[in-house]
Amino acid sequence: MTKNIFLKGLLAAGLSLGCFSQGSAVENNYQVSESSGKLLEFPVGVRASGMGGAFVGVSDDVNGIFWNPAGLAQVGDLELNLGYTNLYSLITLESLVYGQPFAGGVIALGVNYADYGPVEKFGLDEHQNPIPLDSSLTPHALFGNLAWATSLSKYFYLGVAVKALQENYEIENRTMAALDAGAYFITGIRGLKLGLSAQNLQIPYMKGSLPVVLRAGMSYLLPTVWDQDRFTAAVDFNLPTVSAANTAVGAEYWIQDIFALRAGYGFSEKRQDDRLLGFSVGASIKFYFVQIDYAFLPNSELGDTHRISLLTRFAGQSRKSQTSQTSELEKKNEGKSAPKRYFYQYLFSTE
């Protein structure tokens, strides 16, 4: 997930290519494979990044396709999201996500492209020491998701996504595919939502595999004094199969449904991995059907990361999210009455 991990894998690829150009062959398959699937480890969605990556229990916009596909069932209108990230001043990530109501549910398509920047090629001298060559690698990766989600009831949603990943390191190209599955629950406690997802599940009879990640998250929409204000707190627990478990906590506060502030923090069970997650902040501004999201992830070792995206919503589609009737405080009837109720009554009411 880090610049160092990428460079290690890409340097190994450069060494391999250099060795072949020098007329000697060195087996580097293991080293090259270390960078396989790394694009999938980058959090997609600027809003989610601003919340520290705590989004499995939120997943209420089209970017939920990358966190919990079941959450897509909350999308009530056509949504289009364009994102750009400058990662550690080295890697650029670009994303496009589209979703809309379809066939009794919601269908979404996400495409992500990563340009890892030029990497210098190396060869080996007669003493097997690396020497730079007069050329460089231009590695890049592309992956796409196609997802569909539906609501089995107004309290329970299911979603599934198929993804394909293509990595190009010039000396070795890889194409892999996998499945994501998710579930989403509207609990009996008002404002509390739970999400579960399993990512990168292997497709039967297909070669190659990606590191499986199990995620569990919850979010809570707190009552506010003002009608259109919203405050959401979220926490995610992530269990990757190839690295240490990690936890993310985040919060989002919408002011009059026009301006939002976010903050989050991610940390790992292994102390040395904390620097890979860390603190993040974000903000949004909404103007009619256009929403601009920004996130800042400071990192003293790898360099700061700036992320920005543009989300557009086009109303008037054939299906509105059922959850808008039960769990969103911004609706007029809910917003006016909720702050006036006793807090206990608010918590355990679902109507």
Domains of the chain: 46-122+138-347 (2.40.160.60)
Q: Which residue has the tokens 């892999």?
A: 176
The answer for 43, left when phi > 0, alpha when psi is -120 to 50, beta otherwise, is beta
Tens-digit pLDDT string for the chain (351 aa): 434 444 434 433 333 333 333 333 333 333 334 445 666 667 778 999 999 999 999 999 999 999 999 999 999 899 999 999 887 767 888 999 999 999 889 999 999 998 887 777 777 777 777 777 777 777 888 989 999 999 999 899 999 999 998 888 766 788 889 999 999 999 988 899 999 999 999 888 777 678 899 999 999 999 888 878 899 999 999 998 877 889 999 999 999 989 999 999 988 876 555 445 789 999 999 998 999 999 998 875 667 888 999 999 987 544 444 344 344 443 444 444 444 443 444 444 444
Distance between CA atoms of residues 74 and 326, nearest Å: 11
Neighbour count for residue 139 (Cβ, 10 Å): 23
pLDDT of residue 254: 95
Distance between CA atoms of residues 252 and 309, nearest Å: 17
CA distances from 53 to 57, 58, 67, 246, 248 (A): 11, 10, 9, 11, 6
Considering only CA atoms, which of 240, 215, 200 is closest in space to residue 56?
215
Burial of 104 (0-12, 13-18, 19+ CB in 10 A): exposed
> Do 91 and 102 contact (CB within 8 A), yes or no?
no
Dihedral angle of Cα 197, 198, 204, 205, to the nearest 10 degrees: 120
CA distances from 237 to 195, 197, 316 (A): 10, 11, 36
Burial of 281 (0-12, 13-18, 19+ CB in 10 A): middle
pLDDT of residue 158: 97
CA distances from 75 to 61, 150, 229, 312, 322 (A): 6, 10, 20, 12, 9
The kind and range of the H/E element at 136 are strand 130-137
pTM (2 d.p.): 0.76
Distance between CA atoms of residues 198 and 196, nearest Å: 7
pLDDT of residue 131: 75
Neighbour count for residue 332 (Cβ, 10 Å): 9
Task: Report the amino acid identity of residue 3.
Answer: K
Burial of 287 (0-12, 13-18, 19+ CB in 10 A): exposed
